[in-house]
């Protein structure tokens, strides 16, 4: 990790988990800095992944997990006109690419609204030990439940995995690594050498 995650206040486990999720979000957001829509949608390797597709995927995944925790699947994020997209086998690929009038700035704004709602929910849930049911799926245990703490650790895991993908894709596009992007974001010139 190339950015520092601030230490939480003593006993602020929620703040610590939210800070680690936000640090991983930042890595993916930075991966699209200074790119055109075409560059962000390009696939510079044999992988099907693109930066704009990863951005869309992590935003949708975070919203899906938030809705599962809230037990409100299908509800749009607060303050958003867009609805949650329930993916089917036929539309699975659309979760990894921008379609129609979707844009990188639009996806960033959408993800910001999801992030705000995640933080508000995590800050107000009675306990991180509270659980919610997992939906029926071959990869989940029958009648499985997970805690709010598990949810936050899973978001760190999910977003960090894709932040690593984004690092590789961005470097393949223009040679900019994570340090370069942090410098670009802060308005300094970066040289990863």
What are the angstrom distances between the C-alpha of 89 and each of 41, 167, 189?
22, 28, 44
Q: How confident is the model at residue 83 (pLDDT cuts 50, 70, 90)?
A: very low
User: Could you give the CA distance from residue 171 to residue 178 in angstroms, rounded to a whole number?
Assistant: 9
User: What domains can you pick out in the chain, each with its CATH number?
Assistant: 18-186 (1.20.120.450)
Place of tokens 């921008």: 98
Place of tokens 């958003």: 80
For 55-78, write each residue's pLDDT tens digit.
999 999 999 999 999 999 877 766
Q: How confident is the model at residue 86 (pLDDT cuts 50, 70, 90)?
A: low
pTM of the model: 0.88
CA angle 126–108–193, rounded 5-degree value: 110
What are the angstrom distances between the C-alpha of 153 and each of 137, 160, 176?
20, 11, 28
- Report helix, strand or coil for 71: coil
The pLDDT mean for the chain works out to 89
Place of tokens 């910001």: 112
Does 164 score more than 70 pLDDT? yes
Does 192 score more than 80 pLDDT? no
Return the pLDDT at 11.
76
């Amino acid at each position: 990790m190339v950015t520092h995650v601030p230490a939480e206040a003593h006993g602020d486990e929620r703040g610590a988990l939210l800070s680690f999720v936000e640090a991983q979000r930042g890595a993916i957001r930075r991966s699209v800095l200074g790119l055109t829509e075409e560059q962000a949608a390009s696939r510079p390797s044999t992988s099907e992944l693109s930066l704009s597709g990863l951005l869309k995927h992590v935003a949708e995944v975070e919203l899906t997990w938030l809705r599962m925790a809230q037990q409100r699947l299908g509800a749009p994020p607060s303050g958003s006109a867009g609805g949650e997209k329930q993916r089917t086998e036929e539309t699975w690929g659309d979760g990894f690419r921008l379609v129609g009038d979707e844009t990188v700035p639009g996806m960033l704004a959408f993800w910001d609204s999801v992030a705000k709602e995640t933080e508000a929910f995590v800050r107000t849930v009675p306990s991180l030990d509270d659980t919610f049911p997992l939906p029926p799926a071959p990869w989940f245990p029958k009648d499985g439940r997970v805690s709010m703490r598990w949810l936050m650790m899973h978001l760190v895991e999910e977003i960090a995995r894709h932040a690593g993908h984004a690092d590789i894709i961005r470097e393949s596009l223009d040679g900019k690594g994570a340090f370069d992007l942090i410098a670009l974001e802060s308005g300094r010139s970066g040289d990863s050498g």
